[in-house]
Structure 1
């Protein structure tokens, strides 16, 4: 049975570096009894395999079918233990946990003084690195030990630990509530995208303020401020308030200037903050600031001291490349963008196992838009089909909706109008099903349906009428979302003026400047 690279053990083995594989073999080979063990033989076989093939494992008689599940589970665990021992995976968090484990062992052996000494040092490191949850665990263990190890300082020590426990607990609760709210807002935008009407706007505002915790800002540390800016950012994105998106994303990035040691401790937070800052600048259309921040972002991630584990590598690829593509959209540099796609696509394929489906689909949508702007409608349709054929509605519904609308336009532009009626019907049904049929989409579908009945000499007038109809929606608080996904107005102007879309967007950009 072949499970083309979807087996968890196989994916873990394929993610190992040469040094990690060597360390694993040294780790399991430390005992002679392991030299010919089933799980080591299975490791060597899977390491050399290009795909996971269960039948091939059984044919080689590496392990019997009844034993396979247990041997795989044991191998998986041994690899993780080996990775845990690797210095490259010994981050601050794991180091503090290790010290906490040591202190717990000493406590259970009755060596209270030694245990307290380790806990005191670990607590200081945890607080310095904003690991307040771990710091709280340490304080709670200190309280247990202090209740059994009587010293002359017990009265003052008890008060000190109680105050510290209360402060850490309060901040952890604030952080937890803010992180929960951030995740909930993020879940909403993944499911449905931006708000679509006044009802949704009121619902989101009520949802936000009901769950927003009370606190004194001056008492917040790095982690609490991080989640605070995170929450406001997602709230602003949902409301399409891109100026406030920029404001809170900038606060997020500046937070790392205030706490520079946190870049090493929390590189993912740093990467995400820079990504959202660039995304906000893209929606605002400020190319100068966008380029400056993108350059700073590239410089920061290319420094030798910047963390470079597999997760960080994948996210750095994701955020740098998505924003590099966005740069070409701002002023219509589609030729440059199209030239960049093959390289990004090749790297995207190598990172696919480390990126979620949602972000892969965003890449495809941006590729499709880039090819559309460049006039290569067949390539545009190719990438749109990858989104439309994805049956999972867990991917943003709004992305699927606008992929279908762009697909209609691309088919018209490519002259593939033999099945345009079927496409119109399926798009219309999908938009109704997802409750995403709004005025801009309605007007677009009506226009495309009627095009076949318009005389050639009247085509330009039809495009002008549609442009004038849609113009009133450009600044509409809910209808304007359509223009964030698809630059319909530039396409219409290009048809009216009979010039490439890139020329229209470039002229708009220069006029704006």
Structure 2
């Protein structure tokens, strides 16, 4: 099961605070001396010391607060914490700066100081324009238009024409960005639910959807955000279809966009690190070993910068993406036992990050851990991690991962020689994968081989393994079959049996051979 998370929003917020943020809150709240504020400080201190949120225990520690009062005091504390954080971090992000300027302009306007409000709006407009923040521009211009419409502030004709033109341009831009970002989001949502395209029906549906939703002038667009969402759309489109070359091309365009406009690395750090994550995945899928190492080193260097360290959310996700890439390196080079040296630390990090990490990320890590243990021959620990995925019903994500977790689970029991449960395992896994429409030719052949191999002597088993290998080897380049090889390197597993070598050695030899070819 996934870790239990407290669902109390106030408790989560307090547990996410650093020492400096807690200290600032205490100073911030002391500015007001209302009796109510004394109670929220008491509540804050008590919640800060708790390991888990339990209301009955909380009330025991707070005799000055009665149960009927608790919700109101919690609500007040939550609002004050957010106000304190806003006060502390008002210059941390461009969005907060723009919001503050807009708020200040509205306050001045309502005070009747229209010219002062307009000066602030001009500065806000320059800042938003320089950083491509068109949604904020729309709000700035809306307030400018309101002031100009209701009051005579300057040469009305000249200002009217300028504002009208700006509003039209921004409206068109926002519409284009909205359509492209919607397309990228819906494609990503499809992948999160289903994984890769499973068959011709999925492929046809995705192609048709993409063709209908992609703007006809997509490649004529020049704005940063328009290009960003266009490249993201193509990245997810290619990844779903397992067109890994296209996936690489567009994830690289995505990242290169940030190197061309470096200021956007700070403005849109979330999109930047997600792009690096996808570029690393593309190199992993294509087994571009050298380029994988180059991008990973760049990512690790970026992770040390003040930009990457500034916000908890992006610091945590940077760490997660880099750790995922480090595991992938060991998976694709066959250095499984070295990879296992990272597992305990990463598993502890997942516990630390459980407030911030969605269940999907945890499932992916568990699957990678299980794969490392499987490839290292530790099938019992592999099963332990797979059980965490199979038994979890909270995420309801990634049907493909649920399917392949069950398949690897069955293979681990096969390796352990648990013949007494293999028949029920085969039936259960086959039924699940068929129901989820997740069976490919590779899996069909896998089930056929395992059913047939029961009771065979080692002398008779080897020819059957060789036949199995020949049946699936030619499918390695088939896009609808590569999904099986991407999630579980069945070919290397069978080769390890045929050539009587550990699976990690088989994969490592392929990696070493690719290095020799390169040099």
Which residue matches 1:30? 31
Contiguous gaps of at least 5 residues in structure 1: none
Runs of 4+ in 1 over 4 A off after TM superposition: 216-219
Verify the 8 A CA contact 1:13 1:46 in the aligned structure 2: yes
Residues 217 and 447 from structure 1, CA distance in 2 versus in 1: closer, same or farther, beyond 3 angstroms?
closer
Deviation, structure 1 residue 4: 6.1
Contiguous gaps of at least 5 residues in structure 2: none
Q: Is 2:58 the counterpart of 1:18? A: no
Verify the 8 A CA contact 1:264 1:307 in the aligned structure 2: no
Q: Secondary structure at the match of 1:474?
A: helix
Q: Which of 475, 485, 488 is equivalent to 1:486?
A: 488
User: How many angstroms apart in 2 are the aligned matches of 1:216 and 1:50?
Assistant: 51
User: How many angstroms apart in 1 are the aligned matches of 2:446 and 2:208?
Assistant: 33
Verify the 8 A CA contact 1:332 1:506 in the aligned structure 2: yes
Q: Deviations over 1:66-122 (max 9, x none)?
A: 222222122111111111111376311111111111111222222221111110110
Deviation, structure 1 residue 213: 2.2
User: How many angstroms apart in 2 are the aligned matches of 1:415 and 1:81?
Assistant: 61
User: How many angstroms apart in 2 are the aligned matches of 1:77 and 1:444?
Assistant: 57
Which residue matches 2:57? 56
Residues 70 and 342 from structure 1, CA distance in 2 versus in 1: closer, same or farther, beyond 3 angstroms?
same
Which residue matches 2:374? 372
Q: Deviations over 1:362-413 (max 9, x none)?
A: 0000011111111111111111111111124621000010111111111111
Which residues in structure 2 correspond to 1:441-456 (within 5 Å)?
441-456=443-458
Residues 216 and 397 from structure 1, CA distance in 2 versus in 1: closer, same or farther, beyond 3 angstroms?
closer
Q: Deviations over 1:169-224 (max 9, x none)?
A: 11111111111111110111111111111121111111111111243645431111
Which residues in structure 2 correspond to 1:87-486 (within 5 Å)?
87=89, 90-150=92-152, 153-215=155-217, 217-392=219-394, 394-486=396-488
Verify the 8 A CA contact 1:193 1:396 in the aligned structure 2: yes
Query: RMSD over aligned Cα, in angstroms?
Result: 1.7
Verify the 8 A CA contact 1:494 1:504 in the aligned structure 2: yes
Which residue matches 1:78? 80
Q: Deviations over 1:450-470 (max 9, x none)?
A: 222323320111111111111
Q: Secondary structure at the match of 1:472?
A: helix
Q: Deviations over 1:278-308 (max 9, x none)?
A: 0000000010000011001111121234442
Deviation, structure 1 residue 34: 4.1
Verify the 8 A CA contact 2:408 2:488 in the aligned structure 1: yes
User: How many angstroms apart in 2 are the aligned matches of 1:173 and 1:125?
Assistant: 21
Verify the 8 A CA contact 2:308 2:314 in the aligned structure 1: no
Verify the 8 A CA contact 1:4 1:51 in the aligned structure 2: no
Q: Deviations over 1:23-71 (max 9, x none)?
A: 1111222223348732221111111111112111222324222222222
Q: Deviations over 1:310-352 (max 9, x none)?
A: 1012101110000011111222111211112122222222112
Which residue matches 2:497? 495
Which residue matches 2:45? 44
Higher mean Cα deviation, 237-246 or 5-14?
5-14
Q: Secondary structure at the match of 2:438?
A: coil
User: How many angstroms apart in 1 are the aligned matches of 2:50 and 2:288?
Assistant: 49
Relative contact order higher in (CA < 8 Å, ≥ 6 apart): 2
Deviation, structure 1 residue 482: 0.8
Residues 192 and 47 from structure 1, CA distance in 2 versus in 1: closer, same or farther, beyond 3 angstroms?
same
Verify the 8 A CA contact 1:57 1:63 in the aligned structure 2: no
Deviation, structure 1 residue 446: 2.1
Deviation, structure 1 residue 481: 1.1
Given the two structures, how large is their TM-score scaled by the length of structure 2? 0.95
Higher mean Cα deviation, 211-220 or 18-27?
211-220
User: How many angstroms apart in 2 are the aligned matches of 1:88 and 1:299?
Assistant: 27
Verify the 8 A CA contact 1:233 1:249 in the aligned structure 2: yes
Verify the 8 A CA contact 2:109 2:117 in the aligned structure 1: yes
User: How many angstroms apart in 1 are the aligned matches of 2:217 and 2:360?
Assistant: 34
Q: Secondary structure at the match of 2:343?
A: helix
Residues 457 and 180 from structure 1, CA distance in 2 versus in 1: closer, same or farther, beyond 3 angstroms?
same
Verify the 8 A CA contact 1:174 1:215 in the aligned structure 2: no
Residues 152 and 65 from structure 1, CA distance in 2 versus in 1: closer, same or farther, beyond 3 angstroms?
closer
User: How many angstroms apart in 1 are the aligned matches of 2:469 and 2:218?
Assistant: 50
